[in-house]
Amino acid sequence: MGEKLQFTELDQYLFGQGTHYDVYRKLGAHPVKQGKKEGVYFAVWAPNAQAVSVIGEFNDWNEQAAPMKKAGPIGVFETFVPGAKIGQLYKFFIVGMNGEHIYKADPYANEAELRPGTASRITDIGDYKWKDTTWMKNRQKFDETKDAMAIYEVHPGSWMKHPATEENEKGFFNYRELAVKLAQYVKDMGYTHVELMGIAEHPFDGSWGYQVTGYYAPTSRYGTPQDFKYLVDYLHRQKIGVILDWVPAHFPKDAHGLANFDGTAVYEHADPRQGEHPDWGTKIYNYGRPEVKNFLIANALFWIEECHVDGLRVDAVASMLYLDYGKNDGQWVANKYGGNQNLEAIEFFKHLNTVVLGRNHGTVMIAEESTAWPKVTGKAEDDGLGFSLKWNMGWMNDFLEYMKLDPYFRKFNHNKMTFSMTYAYSEKYVLVISHDEVVHLKKSMLEKMPGEPDDKFKNLKAAYTFMFCHPGKKLLFMGQEFAQAREWSEQRGLDWELLEDKQHKQMQDYMKALWTLYQEQPALYEMDYDPAGFEWINHMEYDKSMLTFMRKGKKRDTTLVFVCNFSDVAYPKYQMGVPYPGKYKEIFNSDAKKFGGSGVVNARVKASKKEECDERKHSIVINVAPLSVQIFSFTKNETKKAEKKAEEKTPKISKVRKTLEEKIEAERQQEEKKYEAKPSKPAKTVKAEEKQKKAEITE
């Protein structure tokens, strides 16, 4: 074996420390040339194995044909197999500590056999030629705290489907054709990012990709790793960011996966009280083992650095932070201080986020964390976990419970819509309506809404607009933007035929207009995490189910005023306080007729009057539509100084007139000198001539 292919002492040291951040370039299967022979270098970590060999199509799955040599005490086995080629299937044959025979897929494989097959496939991930240089350069300047983020959550296998065929029994789109169609749709709708579910290889479609067996392999359901890179590349060239769901919380017990990898607990804890989720039937990673941490951290870097992904949404963070998550007494082991905090997982998150974000400016790490754990988005050096953003699960639960209510009962639950602002700045939040909210008999977003069909659409528009104007970045699951009627199922595509119906098409148009407005108005995103960017005007009118507030940008003239009416009653001539004296123009109204509303709008600009209302010195009087959100822009009144400045900028026609008048005066004076010695004309005659001449020149 050539020295350059070996898992060197330095590799062993870094891997043993948990800091070999590109270990995926050594472990796994890598096509190489050794001397004059072309073949594949294989390496796998199996610390307690008696022996390991690689078996595959290149040696007829012969367990004795390609034995692997142990590289040092850390437990990595390696070998070079001449003649092995890209596209061939393989597995590792492991003789366990007690002599048991084990057949495992490669944990570091970059491609896997299409399920129900369980083998790994040799590939070369380094041969893709990227074309997203401009995006990658600009990404370094992206700041999730100040820039717009409207995320479209997508399950690639069910967003859109082909008719099923014998070759493609589920009708899946290939990554490349998905790239074109998805990019066109997302760009047209006005989203800034897509979040892709279920990209890492997984054996069961019904898990949606949350029970992973191939962490380094884009699922073969939709094509090759090169096809996946094309998807990311194409989206980037259309100026769309890509976020992946990432699952470091647990892994399944499938025989070919990570569980009991060499006959012992390698990736998981040996003690089932620490190493298993009783409710989920899955294994829990041993975050205290350096090589396991290295496997996960290097995997995050693989997706971001090798595949150019722009961020990871980390699944089930709460289950990692709490040792007793989903467990009863006797099913968990306390930490060394007697508490239920997983100290090793806490250190893992700090390490993970510091490295990933430190090496890749402009990327994001998003936590799906459902508890009140402090400082999830706090800096690691300040005892935080170091995430960029956190899903706001509390807001989502309160918001949906409120919107499900008949409008009459909302006044008794007013606090569900105001409570989120008491903690809105404790973390950097993303407001989410994800796939979890539209499955398992929870109904689609449209069907959650109360009332007759027309009322459901009005409620849903008002709901989305409130989400849109509340502080925090935004995420909406696919199909909900055109009011998908059925619950989501991974087994079928979205009901795109609904767009032939006027109301569903109006909903889609409405969301497109909403996201366009979002990106046009800095007040809606640039101060999401600054308390100075939000201010209530009146949040106490529970009897009307009304909320009025403002969002501010860095510049005063970007201020927006919002009027939210969650009752089904219109309020004509409604007086409300405004932040500044000036003019207020309605720029958006969920009740507009073009979106299927009743058309209660404010066509004229509203000038504020010095009449106190809502404890403010100035106010306006507007028409408030039922079940609606109305948005007003602000323009300040011109001051005397501004008026004087305007006068100084004399219109061109005035300057011409002034020049002509000066010319007339000069000619008049010359005439006077010319006829000084002559008898003068009567004054009336001179004045009449001057008036006539002036009129002629002016014309």
What residues are labeled active site? 315, 368
Are residues 42 and 81 in contact, defined by beta-carbon separation less than 8 angstroms? yes
546: Cβ contacts below 8 Å, ≥ 6 apart:
538, 563, 564, 565, 566, 567, 571, 624
Sheet hosting strand 606-607, strand order edge to edge: 534-538, 546-551, 560-565, 628-636, 582-589, 606-607
Burial 456-495 (b: 16+ CB within 10 A, else e): bbbbbbbbbbbbbbbbbbbbbbbbbbbbbbeebebeebbe
Cα–Cα distance measured from residue 577 to residue 537, given in angstroms and rounded to the nearest whole number: 7
The DSSP secondary structure of 280-303, one letter per residue, reads TTEE-B-TTSHHHHHHHHHHHHII
Please, which residues bridge with residue 241 across strands?
Answer: 193
Please tell me whether residue 696 adopts helix, strand or coil conformation: helix
What is the 8-class DSSP label of residue 271? S
Q: Give the residues across from 101 on adjacent strands.
A: 95
Q: Name the β-bridge partners of 150.
A: 474
- The span from the CA of 565 to the CA of 549, in Å, is 12
Residues 6+ apart with CB under 8 A from 452: none
Bridging pattern class, strands 606-607 and 571-578: unpaired
Do 106 and 70 form a contact (C-beta atoms < 8 A)? no
Q: Phi/psi zone of residue 386: left (φ > 0), alpha (ψ -120 to 50 degrees), beta?
A: left
For 474-489, give the DSSP string.
EEEETTGGGT--SPP-
Pair of tokens at residue 358: 């430190």
Q: Is the dihedral of CA 661, 664, 670, 674 positive or negative?
A: negative
Cβ distance 491 to 481 under 8 Å? no
CA–CA separation, 512 vs 503, rounded Å?
14
Distances (CA, A) of 402 to 453, 463, 525, 566, 567: 18, 10, 24, 10, 12
3-state SS assignment for residue 40: strand
Distance (Å, whole) CA 462 – CA 507: 11
In contact, 194 and 236? CB cutoff 8 Å: no
Report in angstroms the alpha-carbon separations of 121 from 305, 376, 626.
Answer: 22, 38, 59
Tell me: cis bond preceding 116? Omega within 30 of 0 counts: yes
> Do 369 and 345 form a contact (C-beta atoms < 8 A)?
no
In a 13 Å sphere around the CA of 134, the CA atoms on its Cβ side amount to: 7
